[in-house]
Amino acid sequence: MRKTTVSVLSVICAILLMIPAFISCGDTPVPDATASPETTAAAPVAETTVVPEETTEPLASLEVKDLGEYEFKVLWPSIHNDGHFVHNEIDCDTENGDSIDSAVYTRNARVEEKYNITIIGETEWCSTIPSRITKYVTSGDKPYDAFCAPIAMVTTPALSGVCADYNSMTYYSEDQQWWQHEIMSEFAIGKSRYFGSGDIIYSDNFYPYSIFVNMDMYADYKFTENLADLVNQKQWTLDKLMEMCKAVPVSADDTWDYQDTYGIVINPNLAKAIYYGAGKQTTEFDADGKASWVMTPEVVEPILDKVLLLFHTDNMAYDTDEDIGHGYPGLTHAQSAIKMFTGNQTLFYSEELIVAKRLTKNDSDVNYSLVPIPMFSSDQSRYYCVMNDAVVVCVPSNQDLERTSLILSAMGRESIDTVTDAFFGIVLNYKYVADAESQKMLNLILESAKAPDVGTILGWGGVVNSYKKLAQLNQTGFASTYESAKKTVTNSVKSFNKLLP
């Protein structure tokens, strides 16, 4: 994904180990005991360290201007009581000893000095940010130069004209290494890029789905194949995953439950990850950016058939989703999954990359590695690891786009050797990144990251959720499910296309 002066691997590893996962937050916070706010200072660097890969590519130039003591205000999500949004990635008042906060402070200080401005990061409950900005834009008010929120929450406002197109901004271009152009392109609506992603914030790297591997169990079961070799040779397929999962299940009695051993611990989102992992999506776009729906029964049913085999055959998989009561008593589905994985009850664990942070905080010294979501077929050109969500940087459409884009780009540029370096300094303190194969797999996962398309983000027709529910309940019949949603989907696509600039 991101390419800067240090390897993208270093960035993501540090993120994984430092920050709680972001989820789309609703109007009421829901506590999650697996995550908690924390301040992490850098510990002494271990003897075995990994040197970041340097790039000789010079940074793109960026104009420096005196902006006359301008106060640059950005709205950022307030801290969630389950531990989300712990770090304000836009503004930190002081160097408080926390590596990340100090890096944000240093970055801002450099930009403030160069441009004679003050960067102010205010906070708001995440789900209210889009409506608040919409109200300001509609009334002509300009209290904020930019705002940040999960993309699922800002797509509708963007379609209604609330967000400015980065393509129209003077100081944004694709030769600037501090923007994550591929992801921004995938998040585009038509030809318009309303959603900024890059070094300025690190939330965009939280979400690629992957597979965690319990390497002690892998050795105990005497699997002879090197996982990294399988991945590199494009032999890491869904069939190969199932082959290994079949060898693991063990039960002490006739009742299979959370106390037994399984091939993989899952939740229904793995079904979505496998669908995207097959190189599929819900929508395709023509040269003008107009959408057409492609998640049809002909595409879905062969994938769903194999998903059902993995989820429900020979006790290969165990779903800890709390909605069906399968977790450890008193634990959430996420806590149950961690407990099973660290307790050597499951060979594989499918989740977003951010779960590594929870693994490193766990009391167990589980020896794990990483592999991407498997290919559906070995004749695919690449792996695809879908992102579950992302926090993006948006600019109100009624703002001074020249000034705003200059400051945002300056913040991104300065983040490369402040915030990014802070992440790298922390990642050296965790032993698992010294595993060269794990590092390469992390890098591959990030390079394989795939943004969810607009049909998934906006939930058109509830089709993706219906597909996941079929996978969870061991039911076929996607064709009838799709048929009942087809009219809604068609109308959603038409409405979307009408809104394109």
Angle in degrees, 0-180, between the axes of helices 436-447 and 8-18, rounded to the nearest 10: 100
b/e map of 74-97 (b: 16 or more CB within 10 Å)? Answer: bbbbbebebbbbbbbbbbbeeeee
Backbone torsions φ then ψ of 209, nearest 5 degrees: -75, 145
Q: Where are the alpha helices (DSSP H) in 116-226?
A: 129-139, 151-159, 181-186, 215-220
pLDDT at 37: 33
45 pLDDT exceeds 50?
Answer: no
**Rg of the chain taking only CA atoms, in angstroms:** 23
Q: What is the pLDDT of residues 268-279, one digit of tens each?
A: 999 999 999 999
User: Picking from 60-74, 357-371, 397-411, 444-458, which range would have the lowest pLDDT averaged per residue?
Assistant: 357-371
pLDDT at 172: 97
pLDDT at 16: 38
In the chain the first and final C-alpha atoms are separated, in Å, by 28
126 pLDDT exceeds 80?
Answer: yes
pLDDT at 112: 97
Cα(311)–Cα(306) distance, rounded to whole angstroms?
A: 9
255 pLDDT exceeds 70?
Answer: yes
pLDDT at 13: 39
User: CA quadruple 272, 273, 278, 282: dihedral positive or negative?
Assistant: positive
User: Picking from 111-115, 199-203, 262-266, 398-402, which range would have the lowest pLDDT averaged per residue?
Assistant: 199-203
pLDDT at 33: 32
pLDDT at 388: 78
DSSP 452: -
Q: Which amino acid is at 250?
A: V
Average pLDDT value for residue range 327-353? 89
Average pLDDT, the chain: 83
- pLDDT band at residue 323 using 50, 70 and 90 as cut-offs: low
Average pLDDT value for residue range 348-366? 75
pLDDT at 483: 97
pLDDT greater at residue 206 or residue 266? 266
Nearest to 426 by CA among 8, 11, 6: 11
C-alpha distances out from residue 338 to 81, 249, 346, 394, 435, Å: 21, 17, 10, 34, 21
C-alpha distances out from residue 212 to 29, 82, 306, 351, 384, Å: 28, 23, 20, 8, 16
Place of tokens 């939280």: 206
Cβ neighbours for 285, distance < 8 A, ≥ 6 positions apart:
190, 291, 292
Nearest to 28 by CA among 77, 75, 80, 78: 80
pLDDT at 103: 86
Average pLDDT value for residue range 435-455? 83
pLDDT at 204: 66
Backbone torsions φ then ψ of 189, nearest 5 degrees: -110, 110
331 pLDDT exceeds 50?
Answer: yes
Angle in degrees, 0-180, between the axes of helices 401-415 and 99-115, rounded to the nearest 10: 130
Cβ neighbours for 125, distance < 8 A, ≥ 6 positions apart:
25, 27, 77, 78
pLDDT at 383: 97
pLDDT at 357: 63
pLDDT at 5: 36
108 pLDDT exceeds 90?
Answer: yes
- pLDDT band at residue 203 using 50, 70 and 90 as cut-offs: low
pLDDT at 362: 64
pLDDT at 186: 85
pLDDT at 36: 33
Q: Are 450 and 384 in contact (CB under 8 A)?
A: yes
- pLDDT band at residue 446 using 50, 70 and 90 as cut-offs: confident
**pLDDT over 70 for what percent of the chain?**
80
376 pLDDT exceeds 60?
Answer: yes
pLDDT greater at residue 81 or residue 47? 81
Q: What is the pLDDT of residues 127-163, one digit of tens each?
A: 999 999 999 999 999 999 999 998 889 998 998 999 9
List residues bridging with 74 in a β-sheet: 121, 146
Average pLDDT value for residue range 359-381? 85
Q: If DSSP codes are grouped into helix, strand and coil, which group holds residue 377?
A: coil
The backbone region for 60, taken as left when phi is positive above 0, alpha when psi lies in -120 to 50, beta otherwise, is: beta
**pLDDT over 90 for what percent of the chain?**
56
Strand ranges inside 353-461, DSSP E: 368-372, 385-386, 391-394, 449-450
Tokens (6 digits) for 129: 């940010």
Spell out the SS3 assignment of 50-117.
CCCCCCCCCCCCCCCCCCCCEEEEEEEECCCCCCCCCCCCCCCCCCCCCHHHHHHHHHHHHHHHHHCE
Cβ neighbours for 446, distance < 8 A, ≥ 6 positions apart:
1, 2, 8, 9, 12, 205, 208
User: Picking from 63-72, 232-241, 286-295, which range would have the lowest pLDDT averaged per residue?
Assistant: 286-295
pLDDT at 46: 35
pLDDT at 11: 37
Tokens (6 digits) for 493: 């696509």
Q: Which amino acid is at 494?
A: K
C-alpha distances out from residue 288 to 38, 59, 186, 190, 340, Å: 46, 32, 14, 7, 48
pLDDT at 176: 95
C-alpha distances out from residue 263 to 212, 217, 245, 337, Å: 12, 10, 4, 12
Q: What is the pLDDT of residues 389-432, one digit of tens each?
A: 778 999 999 999 999 999 999 999 999 888 777 655 554 444 44
Q: Are 90 and 147 in contact (CB under 8 A)?
A: no
Please name each of the domains of the chain with its CATH number: 8-206+390-450 (3.40.190.10), 209-386+459-499 (3.40.190.10)
